[in-house]
Every structure is written in C-alpha cells, then in structure tokens.
Amino acid sequence: MAAVPEYEKLVRSYLRKRFFRRLSIYILLTIGAFTMLSPFVWMITTSLKHLGDVFSYQKPWWFDWAPTAFVWENYVKAFKVVPFARFYFNSIFVVLLTTFGQVTTSAFAAYAFARLRFPGRDKIFFAYLATMMVPGAVTMIPVFILLQYFGWIDTYKAVILPAMFTAYGTFMLRQFFLTLPRDLEDAAKIDGCGYFRIFWTIVLPLSKPALATLTTFTFMGTWMNFMWPLVALNSHEKFTLPVGLAYFQSLHSTNWPLLMAGSVMMILPILLLFIFNQRYFVEGIKLTGIKG
C-alpha cells in the first residue's frame, strides 16, 4: 500500500477533533436536557400513580419513572374533588378577554404614538414610559381600593379590566410600527384613504409578527398570573386555574397524584401554545429584549 499522503492525515485529524468536539457538546446538551425535563417526567408519572405508590419506600429505582399501573382516573378525580372544569372555564374566559383587550387597545394607541401628530403626544408617551419602571406592587393597592369602591371585587371585571391596558404592549407595538416603511401609508393617504383604513388594511397586516408576539406573551402572562386574581377574587366558582390549584393544594396538600394531574392540565395549553408559536417567542424576545 502506498503511504497515506500528508494532507489526508491532516484532514483525518481535523475530522477526528471535530467529531470529539461535537460529541462532547452533544453529551453536555443531553445532560442539560435531561435535567430540564426530568421534573416534568416525574410530574406526569406521579399523576398516573395510585396514591399509595407515591409513598412506597421499598421500590426498585425505575419505579419512580414508570408507574406500574396507569391510573387515568386521577384526571377525572381532579375534576370532581374541586371544580376544576369551572377554573378552566374562568381562566380561558379571563385570558381571552384580557388578551383581546390588550392587543387591540395597544395597537390603536401604538399607531397614534408612532404615526399621528397631535399636541401632547410626546408628553403622554413619556408618561407611559415612566410608568413601565414602577413595580406592579405600587399600583396594586390603589387599584384594589378603587375596585372595592366600585363594588367590583370578586367579579371577573376586577381581574380583566386592570390587565387590559398596559404601557408595555403599547410601547412594544409602537417600536415595531416605527420600523415599518412609510411609503405605502403615504401613498394611501394621497389616494384619500382615512386613518382607520390605513391602520386596518396596511399597518395591521404588516404587523402580524409583532401582534402574534404580543398576543402570545399576554396570553401566557395572564394564564400564569397568580397574585392579582388571588387578591381580587374570593369565591371558588370565580377562581382562575393558578388560584384554583393553590386552593386545591390547601385542601389536599399531600394527594400528589391528583395535584400533579391538576398541574399537568394547567400546563398543557401553554405547552401547546409554545410548541406552535415558538418562533414568535424567539423573535419577540429579540425584538424587545424585555421579558414578557
């Protein structure tokens, strides 16, 4: 056999180095993924166990991860032990109205800030920006007193209305509208198009990614929101899922299979939303650099 040419040796050593580099990165990424995922696996397996199996101490190691029997009734029971279906409905109702309200009012206001000239515009916008720094705890107390004065505590209004008008959504959409090219809007204006038609037929269709991002972030934030619904709602039949789950826990703090079944059901919609809207998350984070 002829001697292996020198360059072939070099290529081989390069490939070998690259192979080991990639292999080690894959191994590290897999260990990371396992760490991230294992609590979720634990959650799902526990939700399918008999209550007694959670507590059994003398068990083989694989028992933690693979339940011997799949107790699907846990999911049915979760609905019976607390009004889980009611919590679900409440959450969906609150989230849909809040998200719709926030995205529409923000989009209108953002367009006014980005494109229309009117007296006081920049001062009002500065006021919006200034409040973005104020922690939610500051406004929570007066808003509570106000809602109590209106007699709105323990109504859906108390949860939905304060969350419908945010400076954050307006700010984010304004920044996006500013990046849109003006030519189309100017051409439409010359053709005698009104501001509403320009907004509706030109600006909104061009802003689908930003609108989708805001919708996704608002949906998630509202779905997970815990403190305000806890404060604003008293009766069980009005609880949203997070408050309902906390209430569930206060009643049955060690019924782990049922608690886990409830948790899985609470997470599921968010998970689906994330899987289907993933790119809006990534784009949205890059766009604003602000946590949603």
Partner 1 sequence: MKDVFLKDSTKEILAGYSFLLPNLIGFLIFTSIPVVASLILSFMRVDLISTPKVFHFIWFENFKRLFTDVYFWKYSWNTLVLMLAIPFSIAGSLLLALGLNEKLRGVVFFRTLYFLPTICSGVAIYVLWRLVYNSDFGVFNTLIAKFGSLLGLTLRGPNWLTDEAWAKPALIIMSVWQAVGGYNMILYLAALQGVPRDLYEAAEIDGASSWQKFWSITWPQISPTTFFIATMSIIGGFQSGFDQAFIMTGGGPNGSTTTIMYYIFNNFYTWHEMGYAAAISWMLFLIIFSVTLLKWKVFGKLIHY
**204 binds partner 1 per the rule CB under 8 A:** no
C-beta separation of 223 from 268 below 8 A: no
- Taking CB under 8 A as the criterion, the residue among 25, 76, 85, 178 binding partner 1 is 25
Q: Which two tokens stand for residue 75?
A: 């999911």
Chain Cα centroid distance, residue 7:
53
Chain Cα centroid distance, residue 170:
18
- Separation between Cα atoms, residue 131 and residue 291, nearest integer Å: 16
**55 binds partner 1 per the rule CB under 8 A:** yes
- Taking CB under 8 A as the criterion, the residue among 3, 57, 191, 205 binding partner 1 is 57
The residue whose two tokens read 């806890």 is: 230
Question: Which residues, in sequence order, are CB contacts of 191 under 8 Å at separation 6+?
Answer: none
- Taking CB under 8 A as the criterion, the residue among 19, 42, 200, 276 binding partner 1 is 42
Q: With 0-12 CB in 10 A as exposed, 13-18 as middle and 19+ as buried, what is 83?
A: middle
Task: Quote the least distance from Cβ 264 to partner 1, whole Å.
Answer: 8
> What is the contact mask toward partner 1 in residues 242 to 281, using x (rule: CB under 8 A)?
xx-xx--x------x--xx-xxx-xx--xx--xx--x--x
Q: With 0-12 CB in 10 A as exposed, 13-18 as middle and 19+ as buried, what is 175?
A: middle
Pick the stretch among 3-11, 49-57, 80-88, 205-213 that binds partner 1 (CB under 8 A). Answer: 49-57
Task: Quote the least distance from Cβ 289 to partner 1, whole Å.
Answer: 4
User: Closest CB to partner 1 among 93 and 195?
Assistant: 195
Q: Which two tokens stand for residue 109?
A: 């206001």
- In the region spanning residues 61 to 80, those forming contacts with partner 1, defined by CB under 8 A, are 61, 64
**93 binds partner 1 per the rule CB under 8 A:** no
**123 binds partner 1 per the rule CB under 8 A:** no
